[in-house]
Structure 1
Amino acid sequence: MTENGVHTDPAALDELTEAARHEHAETGADGGVAGYRASRTLGLGVELRRQLRRRRTQLVLGFVVLLPFILVIAFQIGQSNPNRRSGGFVDLATASAPNFVVLALFVSGGFLLPTIIALFFGDTIASEASWSSLKYLLAIPVPRHRVLRQKAIASALLSLLALVLLPLVSLGVGLAWYGAGDAVSPTGDAIPFGQSLLVLAASTVYIVIQLAWVAGLALLLSVSTDAPLGAVGGAVLAAILSQILDQITALGSLRNYLPTHYSYAWIDLIANDIDWTNMAAGVLSAVIYATVLSLLAARRFATKDITS
């Protein structure tokens, strides 16, 4: 929809109009809105429904569901050996359903998952600004801190949905094609199927926490620009740059401070004797980065001059 040369989101404007009508239906003697409560503005359910109706959300979730089937087709076309008990994660992918889930997480962890997080968080505020609806949202009025909080929570829930869907769908597909066998690591350790489910759950939790820094950075970029593509692309490029720098061994111990250095520490869980050192360092690093970036985003949005 185009109005006066500005592209707007019809669903967003309809909801803003409805909210404005509700809030300004009655005016008190002091000129304020009778019955106005900031806590009733921009409900989380409303924001989630808006985001779920967006095409980009549906495409992202659809691709996450489709990815395990694409991997199965690739192995069916190729020459995979379902009885293989040695090799790397790709070689072991068809050994059992747990191994197939490990492969899905492994191949998507470097680019796909950070991109999904960056898309949900980087697009959340910047898209409202690009549609010229952000200033109307704040004029309802919805407090700035509530706008940022509600949109961040909605983005976090959608990101969590995508990150949980991938291993769940992969597990179902893996069970159908490869059966419920042991999870076999490249070092030869074999974990029983029941225990491997706990390992996969813990791995997913770690990945969610580790990617929190991408969410914080994307949110900061989203409140700093009116271009959603710039916010999303900036966060993705930062993740790629960090991965590239992490491959430069000449940096030595400096690589430990890169946000992606411990991205694959969850692999240590696929062992009979688990070493928690890297995972603990990865959680601490991600929490620090995410906290600092989120606080910067909140400060930036609280003081920013909203013109669109």
Structure 2
Amino acid sequence: MTENTGGTGEVETGGRAAATRKGVHDRLDGIGPVQPSTFRPGRTLSLRVEAVRQLRRRRTQVAALLLLVLPPVIAIAFSLSSDDPSTAGSDGGGRQNSALYGLATAGGANFALFTEFAAGSFLLTVLIALFCGDTVASDAGWASLRYLLVIPVRRSHLLRQKLFIGLASSAIALILLPVWAYVVGGLFFGWGPAQSPLGGEFTNGETLQRLAIVVGYTLIQSLVIAGFAFLLSVVTDAPLGAVGGATMLVILSNILDAISALDPYRQYLPTHYQFAWLDALGPNVVWEDMARGAGISLIYSSVLFGFAWWWFGRKDVVS
């Protein structure tokens, strides 16, 4: 039933005030203007959110498990072996590999150096390519990348957050392996100071200093792999393509570097100075090759990261 209340012009329906009553509009006017919410692009896709996503991924958990298992497995293999590493020849692994292998059981520091050398040529390469190559391509493959940009998240902000977490994960892996190998080697073979492959012995302070140089140089060298993997991650929607492409780059560079006929051009290959940290294991640290390797790595990585930013800024993420 509809009832007219008189001269006020107000209408009630079923005992309730209609939504068009003048008094309702008066109360709305009394609320005042609605303040628009301020959008803060920097508060979208925080580092904490991206870090949690990284930690919850199965590949991250498998990589961490692999890094934790590898040093004990190597130490157990040395303990069960009937061969004396110090008498090992240079067949197969080369002179440097043989020297590090021969001193692997001399103590925790030497065991860490051997583990770093053994894992650096392939395992660490795959892990870096995995952390930096899967980061954007996985979202594109899951069709969630477009929704992140609709939130809206600025493209440069998205790349910065994902690259930071990818590099941080790679750095943690590169630091975790030698530190954990040092602990495992100390438990198995003692905590004595490191012995140089070129002869002589370091003090405990020199041992920690040389290990820090090795880890620091490895971090700089890893930027080339990270840059190429990250570039492929924004170019392709297939995470395995980005990871595999970065790994193949390292393999191809190592193959070309083994061809002496390419001198002097092979010194510009990204992996030519990959193991220049061996120069830090002599009586005196030789910086020349490490300086060249660090410079080449920084140049390559700067170009690759810059091109990734340029490409993603113009990429169609809707199709």
Cα 1:176–1:83 change in 2 (3 A) is farther
Letter in 1 for 2:51: L
* Higher relative contact order structure (alpha carbons within 8 Å, sequence separation ≥ 6): 1
Q: What is the root-mean-square deviation in Å for CA atoms of aligned residues? A: 1.8
User: Once the 2 structures are TM-superposed, how far is the Cα of residue 83 of structure 1 from its aligned partner?
Assistant: 7.5
Matched residue of 2:127: which SS? helix
User: Which has more radius of gyration?
Assistant: 2
Deviation string 1:81-116 (CA, Å, 9 cap, x unpaired) is 487799611111001111100001000111111111
- Match of 1:235? 246
Cα 1:83–1:253 change in 2 (3 A) is closer
CA distance in structure 1 between the aligned counterparts of 2:200 and 2:57, rounded to whole angstroms: 44
Letter in 1 for 2:297: A
User: Once the 2 structures are TM-superposed, how far is the Cα of residue 210 of structure 1 from its aligned partner?
Assistant: 0.6
Structure 1, unpaired ranges of 5+: 1-27
- Match of 1:177? 188
With the length of structure 1 as denominator, give the TM-score of the two structures. Answer: 0.87
1:257 to 2:259 alignment:
no
The aligned length equals 279
1:65 to 2:68 alignment:
yes
Instruction: Give the alignment partner of residue 300 of structure 1, picking from 282, 301, 311.
Output: 311
Contact 2:47-2:165 within 8 A present in 1 as well: yes
Deviation string 1:120-148 (CA, Å, 9 cap, x unpaired) is 11000000000000000000000000000
Q: Tell me which stretches of 4 or more aligned residues in structure 1 moved more than 6 Å.
A: 82-86
Aligned-residue sequence identity (percent) comes to 46
Instruction: Give the alignment partner of residue 284 of structure 1, picking from 266, 272, 295.
Output: 295
Q: Which region of structure 1 is more displaced relative to structure 2, 176-185 or 234-243? A: 176-185
CA distance in structure 2 between the aligned counterparts of 1:222 and 1:82, rounded to whole angstroms: 42
Letter in 2 for 1:57: T
User: Once the 2 structures are TM-superposed, how far is the Cα of residue 186 of structure 1 from its aligned partner?
Assistant: 2.3
Deviation string 1:252-307 (CA, Å, 9 cap, x unpaired) is 11110000000000111111122110000010000000000000000000010112
- Match of 1:74? 77
1:274 to 2:277 alignment:
no
Matched residue of 1:191: which SS? coil
- Match of 1:45? 48
CA distance in structure 2 between the aligned counterparts of 1:257 and 1:83, rounded to whole angstroms: 35
Contact 2:85-2:102 within 8 A present in 1 as well: no
Contact 2:196-2:283 within 8 A present in 1 as well: no
1:34 to 2:26 alignment:
no
